[in-house]
Amino acid sequence: MPATKLRKFIVLLAGVLLVMLLAGTAFSADTIQTKSSADARQLSLSLNDAIKMAHENNSRIKLAKINYDNAVIDVDVAHDISKKLGRVEDYGLSMDSALAREFNERDKKDARTMAENNYRAALEAIDLSIRKMYFDLLAAQETQKAKQTALARAQEQQKNAQAAYKAGTVAKTDVLQADAAVASARADLVVASNNLVTLRMKLCKELGLPVGTQIVLTDKLDNVNKVDETLEKALQEAEKNRLDLQNAAISLDNAKARLKAVSDVYGSRHYMAQKAALGVQKADIDYNDTKQTVQTDITTALLNLQAAEQGYRALTQAVTAAQESLRLAKLRYQVGAANSFEVTAAAEKLADLEAKQISALETYQIARATLNTLKVTALTTSSSSTSSTGTGN
């Protein structure tokens, strides 16, 4: 054997041994982990069940509910104070105090409505978070299955290469190439399996379940449907339902009412009226900024959904082409017109595209869920908006 070929053979053999060693070590760890969790509790879980469980256990939702309950109590307190104060002329209140009393109850009612909106926004945000985790886990399951199939294909080629080598129709390098492909496919399967375990634990934590709970997902990743929703329709729906935009509108209405009341009492040139006018300007800027944010959110989300649909369909065609390429490579190998490298390369290309197809399907599901969520709330909400109204008294 020439020196150059001998060196290539030694390098290839060393690579095979190294990959097999790494894969074997990881697979052993995965086997131990599987055995240790064999007696763990099993739980069949639909997406709706997961969302309901999160509503009951998630700390962010509990905090938002506490803020809302406090706002409800504040309204009752403000109403009680207003009743006790009675009329200005009866108690000799200053006009400043009278205005503060007049707006105290309104401010608290507005704050209650905004706190309710924030609570609903927290629910929507948690719903989207759980959907993403659920879709992540579904995709991880499908990826594991795909990697198992890829390993089976590699093992089939390994057997074919070994048989051909014994028959004297191929060189030893064909067997080594097939061995390396099997070791690589096994290592990929271990990575996919470990990722599945990690994502399962992450979902358990978010739902308040014991980490070792063996979740059995009962839903599947939906098929990709053609995106026929128009931007105009999506924007109309969002501008009608967005909770942050509703809060901004409440703040603007409150500021306008305050300006009118102060101007009626003191006149439009009084410093209190001028300050109230600045409050209107600020609230108006906040409202328009929020409206622009809604438009940006919806436009981006719809574009992402359309791109996800197109990407999935393109990858589906690519997978079909790769399947045919592998079939032809196998036929060529059987008649001696191709070597093992050509077959394994086609198989690896197919495995790569299958994984990307699963990822694209998940991306589509998340993009659709994100668009639906953004029609109701921003992906990040601030509890500070509940304090944007009121006199501070």
Task: Identify the CATH number of the domain in which residue 76 sits.
Answer: 1.20.1600.10
Given a cut of 80, whether residue 198 has pLDDT beyond it is yes
Residues 128-155: what's their mean pLDDT? 96
- Of the candidates 320, 303, 316, 325, the residue with the CA atom closest to the CA atom of residue 359: 316
Report if residue 276 sits inside a domain. Answer: yes
Given a cut of 70, whether residue 390 has pLDDT beyond it is no
Structural domain total, the chain: 1
What pLDDT is stored for residue 96 in this prediction? 62
What pLDDT is stored for residue 239 in this prediction? 95
Report if residue 55 sits inside a domain. Answer: yes
Report if residue 393 sits inside a domain. Answer: no
Rg (CA), the chain: 32
Given a cut of 90, whether residue 201 has pLDDT beyond it is yes
Given a cut of 70, whether residue 283 has pLDDT beyond it is yes
Given a cut of 60, whether residue 135 has pLDDT beyond it is yes
Report the percent of the chain where pLDDT is more than 90: 62
Report if residue 8 sits inside a domain. Answer: no
Collapse the DSSP code of 347 into the 3-class scheme (helix H, G, I; strand E, B; otherwise coil) and give the result.
helix
Lowest pLDDT segment from 32-46, 129-143, 252-266, 339-353: 32-46
Residue type, 302: L
The residue that leads in pLDDT, 1 or 148, is: 148
Kind plus residue range of the DSSP H or E element containing 52: helix 47-57
- Of the candidates 95, 97, 61, the residue with the CA atom closest to the CA atom of residue 81: 97
- Measure the CA–CA gap between 326 and 56, rounded to whole angstroms: 50
**Please, which residues have CB within 8 angstroms of residue 280's CB and are 6 or more apart in sequence?**
252, 255, 256, 259
Containing structural domain, residue 173: 15-30+38-387
Given a cut of 70, whether residue 119 has pLDDT beyond it is yes
**Interior/surface letters 244-274, b for 16+ CB within 10 angstroms, e for the rest:** bbbbbbbbbebbbbbbebbbeebeeeeebbe
Report if residue 157 sits inside a domain. Answer: yes
Write the pLDDT tens digit of every residue in 9-57. 444 444 544 444 444 444 443 433 434 444 458 899 999 999 999 988 8
Residues 104-128: what's their mean pLDDT? 88
Please state the pTM of the whole predicted model.
0.79
Place of tokens 């500021």: 255
- Measure the CA–CA gap between 160 and 332, rounded to whole angstroms: 13
- Measure the CA–CA gap between 4 and 15, rounded to whole angstroms: 17
**Contact status, residue 23 vs residue 183, Cβ threshold 8 Å:** yes
Report if residue 58 sits inside a domain. Answer: yes
Residue type, 46: S
Task: Give the E-state strand segments of the chain in sequence order.
Answer: 42-45, 214-217
**Contact status, residue 349 vs residue 320, Cβ threshold 8 Å:** no
**Contact status, residue 198 vs residue 35, Cβ threshold 8 Å:** no
Residues 317-345: what's their mean pLDDT? 95
Report if residue 9 sits inside a domain. Answer: no
- Measure the CA–CA gap between 287 and 297, rounded to whole angstroms: 15
**Interior/surface letters 280-290, b for 16+ CB within 10 angstroms, e for the rest:** beebeebbeeb
Report if residue 5 sits inside a domain. Answer: no
Count helices and strands (H / E) in the chain.
10, 2
What's the whole-number average pLDDT of the chain? 84
**Contact status, residue 327 vs residue 249, Cβ threshold 8 Å:** no
